[in-house]
Structure 1
Amino acid sequence: MTHQDCTFLLTLPVELVHMIFDNLSDFTIICSFRQVCTRLNMIMDTYPPYQKLAAIRANTPPIDYGEVQHLINALKHNTALAKVILSGHCIGVDGAKRFADILRINKTIITLDLICAEINEEGAKHLAFPLLDNTTLTTLDLSSNAIRNSGAYHLACALRKNSTLTALFLDNAEIEKPGIAYLAGALRNSTTLTTLDLGHNDMQDEGAQYLADALRNNTTLTTLNLEINRIGNLGAQYLTGALQNNTYSMQRLMTLDLGLNDIRDEGVEHLIVALRENRTLTTLTLEWFYVEQNLKNRLNNLIKCNKKT
């Protein structure tokens, strides 16, 4: 919206401005009018939908750099928004850096969704720093960004000190075994993270071993996604060792996704042995196409027993 448009709005009664707002998206209202002047701020503050606004989602077409700037400026002073969803909008490294600045001062955002936003490892580094001290953000989704091993390292460092993040999504983030090792090290002693999505990366059996070692000590994680990670029977064996450990610890893992990996009969046999002792896992996803029917039935029966307990 142009400066002339904003100036024109200032001449109208508040009720009429609110009627104009009724025909605009939440994103447009926040990016175009917030922090333009004191009077427009007051008009927005009395606009009922804005008072109740808890989430902001950028719609298509993709937002440009100027709109990112407007949104970030608005968030500096916003005390209502709890969710910011910018999936598919290419904010880049500079946008990530500016969102990091917001996380240092904003006390209301609990969910930040930056899926497929062209944030690479440098962007992840910027976002990781405020997580060291941020006490409000509970969900961070950086899926489909090139986070890679370097970005995973910085996020892991943040996780070691952060005490509020409960869900971290890094699906399709180009993370390999070294990056998985960093994240597993942080997961080992995490007391808040309940959901970790590492699907569609490249951890292989070695990465599965790192996570299995972490799970032996972790007592809070309930959901773990490891689909499409080139995990084979050996990786399944490592993970089942951690699942068996459930009997002797406070482990809480309930959902494990191993779909579209290369786990076959031998790996399923290991899972069956683990689930004879494990009593918390209630959802297990596998690539059943490669598994004998008899093994499928045995494993599914054990899962059903866990659901009943």
Structure 2
Amino acid sequence: MALDWPRLPSDVLVPGALHFYDAATAFRVGATDRQMRNALKQQLMGIKIMLRRKRLQPEVLLALAQSLSQLEGLRALEVDISFSSVGEDGAYQLAQAVGILRRLQSLELLLGGAGLGRTGCEKLAKELASLRSLTRLKLDLSLNDIGDTGLRELSKSIRAAFLLRVLVLDLNRNRIADAGVGCLAQVVRELPGLSELQVSLFDNRVGEDGARQLAAAVRGLRRLSRLALGLNRNAVSEVGVQDIAHAVGSHSLRALELDLSVSSVGWAGAHDLGMAISSLQDLQSLTIDLNVNHVGSAGARLLAQAISALQGLVSLRLLASGNRIREVGARELAQALAGLRQLANLELDVSGNGIGDPGACELARAMGGLHGLGRLVADLRGNLVGDHGERELARAVGELPRLERLELRLGGNCRSSGAGPLHHELKNAVQKLQTGGCICDFSY
């Protein structure tokens, strides 16, 4: 049955609230206050509540919690109160209400920047432990300072949801270290039905040991088809990256995202990542974020060879700024891209790599041959790209008949002709695309 997602006042089920609806409204719904309330309680299957960045007074949050607690028939619930400063008490009230909904199968609770703290996270976890029918759970607790203790208690509550098939956790900027990640990894290993796992730990304190424990947990999941791990801006060493690569290579994934920017990835890490990626022959969507590492031209060659083996890719996001791949690496990437004829979405960030005009030309020619592209994002800033490179880019975008969105970033390059901020051939190509309905976004 398709879920209905109505938009209701947050206090619609508070005792006495329905008396404020006028007679015309009552006539339109064809029900008395009591009938309407009972219908909502028993028949409503799914609901979304979007209160992001709202100033929620305590009485409003209490009314919301009371209303939710009465929707006993709910199977799916999405609540977004991120950056609403609900605090520890508000989060607890909401968690108590959600914990009563024992029939919930899908829960999306976004509490980023809501001021939970460690204690608030512990209270939240205690209530979530009662939801044993969940098959899909998404929690955003970013920017709440939950620490290792908060993540440990949260992990315990997730263990109770042994029917989970989809688990999405956003835990960015929470001062989480290896101890907390170890608790989470242990629980993930005990959820054998997981087919999709997404864990984002941007800007925490995860090191080599935490990465190793996560890798061990991933390796133990036998039904995994979608995986996303965000470990950018942590203390993960190259050895930790290699552990993750080995775990990834043990699966038959359809979608993979690895965010490893600022992670000391060099040639050895690129080698193991390449070996893992090349083995994923069923992969349709790939995101690799290696911004600001030490991959170099040799590492770029290994990654390019791995990507070229994925002939079924539909979406590719390769972010490799600040890796010194030079012209040689750009040429290898271009050769890999040229063979990916199924691509509909391509995002390529090779900014700050010194690829020069020759490298930009190679990449442009490769992109111009991908006639199925509907979206193209190319970041070539800070690469000494001149007029020749711009001319090839103009030809490339002009050869993409299905292009619906183009984002091209060329700032910080040199141009020999002095013909102004945008070469006339590139400008004409963009205008033609815009006339045809393509959305174009340039920065120069």
Same fold (TM over 0.5): yes
Pairwise CA distance, 1:276: 3.9
Gaps of 5+ in 1: 1-14
The reply to whether residue 187 of structure 1 matches residue 307 of structure 2 is: yes
Tell me the equivalent position of 1:266.
Answer: 388
Tell me the equivalent position of 2:430.
Answer: 303
Change (3 A) 1:74 1:30: farther
CA distance in 2, matches of 1:159, 1:29: 34
Q: For each residue in 1:272-300, what CA deviation from the matched residue of structure 2 results, as whole angstroms up to 9, or x when unmatched?
A: 33344344562221126644327434313
Pairwise CA distance, 1:116: 1.6
Larger radius of gyration: 2
CA distance in 1, matches of 2:164, 2:291: 34
Determine which of 72, 75, 82 is the counterpart of 2:197: 82
Q: Is residue 204–residue 230 contact of structure 1 (8 Å, CA) maintained in 2?
A: yes
- What does 1:123-138 align with in structure 2 at a 5 Å threshold? 123-136=240-253, 138=256
The reply to whether residue 73 of structure 1 matches residue 186 of structure 2 is: yes
Q: Is residue 381–residue 413 contact of structure 2 (8 Å, CA) maintained in 1?
A: no
Determine which of 101, 105, 113 is the counterpart of 2:216: 101
Determine which of 205, 208, 216 is the counterpart of 2:330: 208
Q: Secondary structure at the match of 2:169?
A: strand
Tell me the equivalent position of 1:166.
Answer: 286
Pairwise CA distance, 1:177: 0.2
Q: Is residue 72–residue 102 contact of structure 1 (8 Å, CA) maintained in 2?
A: yes
Change (3 A) 1:273 1:30: closer
Specify which structure has the higher proportion of helix: 1
Change (3 A) 1:61 1:300: same
Q: Secondary structure at the match of 1:31?
A: helix
Pairwise CA distance, 1:229: 1.1
Pairwise CA distance, 1:71: 1.7
Pairwise CA distance, 1:117: 2.0
CA distance in 2, matches of 1:177, 1:212: 13
CA distance in 1, matches of 2:432, 2:363: 20
Pairwise CA distance, 1:155: 0.5
CA distance in 1, matches of 2:297, 2:154: 46
Q: For each residue in 1:89-143, what CA deviation from the matched residue of structure 2 results, as whole angstroms up to 9, or x when unmatched?
A: 2322222211111111234663211112222322221111122232455221111
Tell me the equivalent position of 1:9.
Answer: none
Tell me the equivalent position of 1:11.
Answer: none
Could you tell me which amino acid in structure 1 is paired with residue 351 of structure 2?
A: E
Specify which structure has the higher proportion of strand: 2
Ranked by relative contact order (alpha carbons within 8 Å, sequence separation 6 or more), the top structure is 1
Q: Secondary structure at the match of 2:369?
A: helix
Q: Secondary structure at the match of 2:423?
A: helix
Percent of residue pairs identical: 22
Structure 1 vs Structure 2 CA RMSD: 3.5
Could you tell me which amino acid in structure 2 is paired with residue 303 of structure 1?
A: V
Tell me the equivalent position of 1:110.
Answer: 227
Q: Secondary structure at the match of 1:293?
A: coil
What TM-score do you get using the length of structure 1 for normalisation? 0.78
Tell me the equivalent position of 2:363.
Answer: 239
Larger deviation: 191-200 or 57-66? 57-66
Pairwise CA distance, 1:211: 0.8
